Amino acid sequence: MTDPTPRDHLVSALVRDEPRVLTRITSLFGRRGYNIKSLSVGSTEHPGVSRMTFVVTGDRGVVEQAMRQLEKLHDVINIIDHSLEKYVDRELVLVKVAITPESRVEVRQIAEDFRARIVDVGRHALTFEVTGDEGKITAFIEQMRPFGILETMRTGRVALTRGSNADIPTHVYHAGETQALKPAVEGVEPREERARGVPNLF
């Protein structure tokens, strides 16, 4: 049964690395009124293939519809809904916290507990770099809030499924041609393209 409560969904898309791909995807989201809460894009181990990770907020139905619309785009090679499997995810944030001579030690102590690194030291502020899952980052920000957060910048989440299989199918279309992709690690077979389509839920 579909879950009607809106929540965050973590989705990755493998896309052909070509001009306008990002526009195509964001305009599709925009036109249909799906809000992207976070988005990270980067290249993969395969030339010509990029990976995007989105956080989309909505009920299960909204997110499924968004994914099916995405799958129709010719630039999209594969979509991975991370909620269907175990995954690791990370986000990096930079947090600039106000300090006073009195609070300085305490702020540093909290940062140490979170394994946050200091990346910039000012007379009235410290800037921390924190990586982790969403929970850890939120907790860190909450701990720092009473001291005065001057600025934050989050990269958006990135995610990979756990285990040794790879999400990139063995063949992708690129610039008018089918390219066979070599597995990144010999002996580990890229998994077959996930059966695209509607799960026949009764």
Q: Which residues of this protein are in contact with another protein, per CB under 8 A? A: 19-20, 23-24, 27-28, 31, 61, 64-65, 68-69, 71-75, 173, 175-177, 196-198, 200-202
Angle among Cα 186, 191, 193 to the nearest 5 degrees reads: 140
Pair 151, 96: CB distance under 8 Å:
yes
- Nearest distance, CB of residue 48 and another protein, angstroms: 14
- Cβ distance to another protein smaller for residue 5 or 178: 178
Contact yes or no for 180/47 (Cβ under 8 A): no
3-class state of residue 125 by DSSP? strand
Integer Cα distance of 169 and 119 in angstroms: 39
Cβ proximity to another protein: between 70 and 126 the closer is 70
Alpha-carbon distance of 184 to 10, in angstroms, equals: 24
Considering the complex, state which of residue 20 and residue 86 has its C-beta at the smaller distance from another protein.
20
Query: From the CB of 202, what's the least distance to another protein, in Å?
Result: 6
Distance in Å, CB of 52 to another protein, minimum: 17
* Neighbour count for residue 78 (Cβ, 10 Å): 19
CB of 27 to another protein, least distance (A): 6
Cβ neighbours of 116 (radius 10 Å): 26
Indicate the residue among 25 and 166 with the shorter CB distance to another protein: 25
